[in-house]
Structure 1
Amino acid sequence: MDSGLENIVAAETVLSDVDGQAGRLIIRGWPVETLAADKPYAAVLGLLWDGFFPELGDDAEIQAQLGRARAAAFALVGTFPMESGVVEALRTGWSLLNDSEAFDDAIAFPAAAAVFTAAAVRHGQGLPLIAPDPALSQAQDLLRMMRGTPASDAEARALDAYLATVSDHGLNASTFAARVIASTRAGLGSAVLGGISALKGPLHGGAPGPVLDMVDDIGTPDAAERWIDAALARGERLMGFGHRVYRVRDPRADALKAAVSKLPGTAGRIAFAEHIETVVLQRLARKYPNRRLETNVEFYTAVLLEALDIPREAFTAIFATGRVLGWIAHASEQIGEKRIVRPKSVYRGPVPEYA
């Protein structure tokens, strides 16, 4: 038995390959570093959904379809509560969308992610909601609706890089949940809701906020060694380091570090983050000489999202805005298998006596 399923092959996929030993991530034939540098959101959607939806057009048409779907999603804002937080608002809003396997219904989910996330953030801040602009790209419009000011080209490119980087990552917990649900033919919407319900767990999608909490607690470069040594002495986990799959540095960390470094005014924050990273890696290597604990995607995710003025309570929903592309692609791929997922279990309970 393999209780974590690490060594169980549960699917064949054309979508992504995670090589934890070599530190490589390939998404639909593209190294993640290249994807993050070159592909905006609409292009990543087209790449991941290619072959599953014949209605897919080129990147320009996909961007236009996303814009129209954002406008339609905004009509639903106000029909569901947003008091319980950004992730809960996104999950509740998504539950109102059509649950089918059709392309028009599928594209509503990534489009609505931008609308519902931005609306929930502004609602929580007591600010008026901002309607989408269908003419803008997904990243431009998400930032504009959330912050109330237009996004610069550099900011939109940085957010695109993040959304591309987290768009797919093998059979992680949320993607596997989405595939299991899709195998029952429950609908793509049900698969997406299963995905976000798994993602909201703190062991899966909740690390970027605590990374910033750590950085804020450290405060200054001079305090880094003392703070980190004390945290390790207390047995605390240092957020942003170590990964279930990667035994070397997470390739997404460098992709995001490159993206945030292109944003004006971030040099000081990056330098501080680099100093913390260096100290943490030194201390982890000393404390756990037989384990490889390297920087993971969440460390520079935190720096990037902070630089874009995205509030910490929205981090998981922004993650979902990228990962929903992978959830829908995997769900569509699983539907093509025409076979329900049904693993076995080993019974360890009492056995009655039979005559």
Structure 2
Amino acid sequence: MIQKGLKGVVAVETTIASVDGEKGELRYKDLLLKDVVEQQTFEAVASFLWEIDEKQVTRLLVEGRQLGFDHLFVLKVLPKSLSIMDQVRTVVSSMGTPELLARSLKEQAVLLTGALAVLTAAAYRIQREQQPVTPSVELPHVANYLYMLSGSHPTKSEVTALETYLITTMEHGMNASTFAARVTVSSESDLPSGLVSALGTMKGPLHGGAPSGVLALLDEIASVGSVETVVMNKLQSGERIMGFGHRVYKTNDPRSLVLREACKKLSGEERWLQLAVEAEKEITRLLALHKPGRRLYTNVEYYAAAIMKSIALPSELFTPTFSVARSVGWTAHMVEQLENNVIFRPESVYVTSVNDFAP
């Protein structure tokens, strides 16, 4: 039987993460996501997934920030009309130098993750005709990313909000971009090439599409002043309620629950987050009433949009920032693939075409 998209087909064994859509569980290793996130830093969770000492991860992330002149030069000469994802992907393709590839696989994973955040921030600023900000060697990974984007030191609440988001989206099992990365390195290609494949896949709107629709929904609710009015108008016109429903999770998306709690803690400082929390309750009630049996709950995009808005991150940075987080999962999977490698070689079934040449 053909499984289009390989849905339901098991292709690898992994110790990195597991997703249970029926139970609404996401585990990093053997730990539930909510237990991983509590009072943890990006560096701590990344070291847990990579299985590397946290101090070494911190040191290597800082080392990875030190991009060569050549990489920044490439960014500056690329067409400004390219998206940030395209620009970053192009530069990553030039990073497979003999010096990098001489390092261990796990060291390469950390170095590439450190570099990706710098490239993303630099590409963003260059597009805006601003000079890239020299990365700090003192700031932690998330604070440094925000610093490189704006040139100003972020507030504690901004760092907390984004760090929670990055940890929550760091890994999510065998998704399309992770599979693409594993397929690439299964040919015994290198980690930068696998990262290029992952970035190209993440760019697609069916995978890493920016949650701009959620922002539009919340903007409309804030403008109209009534959740019910906005939602009922959309339901009656057959529109989808953005930020609700997920292909995998048939109950609450565990990432959404974690981000909701972060929003509640920070909502005293940011009215936008308070709006998101209050609107979710009413939207969930209306969907259960008017679409019974559909089990439509918030997905990760709903609260991701609220958090991005609260820290004034522009929409063109949503998917690139998602990639800054997911680079940890991608590289962890590539290392795992290469440590016990079998090349991916699925089969296809030829279907006769009506246009076949007939001599």
- How far does residue 264 in structure 1 lie from its aligned partner after superposition? 6.6
Gaps of 5+ in 2: none
SS at match of 2:73: coil
Specify the SS of the correspondent of 2:189.
coil
- For residue 27 of structure 2, give the secondary structure of its aligned residue in structure 1: strand
Q: How does 1:170-319 map to 2 (within 5 A)?
A: 170-220=173-223, 222-263=225-266, 265-319=268-322
Mean CA deviation greater in 269-278 or 299-308: 269-278
Secondary structure of 2:19 counterpart: strand
- Matches of 1:90 and 1:103 in 2, distance apart? 21
Consecutive unaligned residues of structure 1, counting only runs of 5 or more, are 51-55
Kept after mapping to 1: 8 A contact 2:253/2:297: yes
1:140 aligned to which of 140, 143, 156:
143
Structure 1: distance between partners of 2:61 and 2:133: 17
Deviations 1:295-343 (A, max 9, x none): 1111111111221221111010110011011111111111223211112
- RMSD of aligned C-alpha atoms? 2.3
Contact 2:176 2:201 in 1 (8 A): yes
Change in CA separation of 1:290 and 1:110 when aligned onto 2, cut-off 3 Å:
same
What is the 5 A alignment of 1:68-107?
68-72=63-67, 76-80=71-75, 81=78, 83=80, 84-98=82-96, 100=101, 102-107=105-110
Q: Any idea what SS the aligned residue of 1:25 has? A: strand
- Between 1:280-289 and 1:322-331, the stretch displaced more is 280-289
Partner of 1:53: none
Letter in 1 for 2:9: I
Q: What displacement does 1:156 show?
A: 2.1
How many residue pairs are counted as aligned between the two chains?
Answer: 348
How far apart in 2 are the matches of 1:88 and 1:39? 31
Letter in 2 for 1:18: V
Instruction: Tell me if the contact between 2:43 and 2:57 (Cα under 8 Å) persists in the aligned partners.
Output: yes
Give the whole-Å Cα distance in 2 for the aligned partners of 1:248 and 1:283. Answer: 16
Q: CA deviation at 1:95?
A: 1.5
Separation in 2 of the partners of 1:120 and 1:16?
Answer: 31
Residue 244 of structure 1: how far off its partner (Å): 0.9
Which whole-Å CA distance do the structure 1 matches of 2:316 and 2:243 have between them?
A: 17
Alignment partners' CA distance in 2, 1:272 and 1:301: 14
Q: Percent identity, aligned pairs only?
A: 35
Q: In the alignment, residue 84 of structure 2 is paired with which amino acid?
A: V
Give the TM-score normalised by the residue count of structure 1: 0.90
- Counterpart of 2:346 in 1: which secondary structure? coil
